[in-house]
Amino acid sequence: MKHLITGTAGFIGFHLAIKLLERGDEVIGLDNINDYYDVNVKYGRLKESGIEKEEIAYAKKVLSKKYPNYKFIKLNLEDKSEIDKLFKEEKFDKVCNLAAQAGVRYSLTNPDAYISSNIVGFINLLEACRHNDIKHLSYASSSSVYGLNEEQPFSTHDNVDHPISLYAASKKSNELMAHTYSHLYKIPTTGLRFFTVYGPWGRPDMALFLFTKAILEDKPIDVFNYGEMQRDFTYIGDIVEGIIRVIDNPPVGNPLWSGKNPDPSSSKAPYKIYNIGNNNPVKLLDFINAIEKTIGKNAKKNMLPIQAGDVPSTYADVSGLIDDFGYKPNTPVEKGIEQFIKWYREFFGA
């Protein structure tokens, strides 16, 4: 198979590309390498996959020195003409969209970035898929779409019409846009609601990275909601395994779907939504304790109220993954934290 993966300088996209390459698939990776967080981490991921920073500045497409079946392109999803040209040239079989403007809190102060990247960029991909016979479009949604929902675990069968951040609203919009194209043009699409992904090569704006850095540097950490926050922390390896199972199995229409009692997770069209989470929420203070134990040092904690846009708890119902693929994420958070801190010390020499 020949895949377009967007966001391959990003956390999840980098790991997914490596897994697909290692099994022999062909991958075209795309990223705009924006400066939302430290670009050195992004270039570090690219270098790990055989893409040198120096070459990106001089060549439109960079061939990996490590994987002969990998090419990288620096490109914005918002550049419709270049996206259309890329699809026509490369003739992809499948597309996985992991590029997005990330971050709940950043969306409170920089809303325009989310409309440009997550909405305009996504419609450009949908249109390109429509006109180029793409066999399956899978894309990153988010657990944040559950918003004000209080019924837990969060189920894909539940209504998610009450987001509390523009980031969440943009991800919900992607699901609606994808359904429209699945219905009108029979493009198989699958939305993946990720739950607090962590692990080696993780994002510097995420809690595990921030906490590890601060503790090692003997600086205080901000603990929101006084540590009572709960998150369904999901290890990157489990996320990637779930994505690959989804990519390999494009959805078909659900013949039992009824407009009189509509199930949000499926449709008569070839459309599907899955949660990918650990199905085991962990209290923030317990998460911090696991970091402290692994590092061998206690954190200095600033206990603060919950921030605007944050939800107090996330908890994934992954019955869809189990029923359709016989798969359930299962990496214990203590093991995942150990793997991250091992990587962090090696990468930063800490």
In angstroms, rounded to a whole number, what is the distance separating the alpha carbons of residues 81 and 94?
20
Q: Is the backbone of residue 119 left (phi > 0), alpha (psi -120 to 50) or beta? A: alpha
- Find residue 234's DSSP bridge partners: 197
Alpha carbon dihedral 221, 226, 228, 231, in 10-degree steps, equals: -40
> Which spans in 36-160 are helix H?
39-48, 53-56, 80-90, 106-109, 111-114, 121-131
In 3D space, the residue among 295, 310, 338, 103 whose CA is nearest the CA of residue 205 turns out to be 103
Catalytic-labelled residue, pool 167, 181, 271, 344: 167
By 3-state DSSP, what share of the chain in percent is helix, strand and coil, each rounded to 5? 40, 20, 40
Cβ atoms of 192 and 320 within 8 Å: the answer is no
Cβ atoms of 231 and 196 within 8 Å: the answer is yes
- The single-letter DSSP state of residue 298 is P
Query: Catalytic: 167?
Result: yes
Name the residues annotated as catalytic.
167
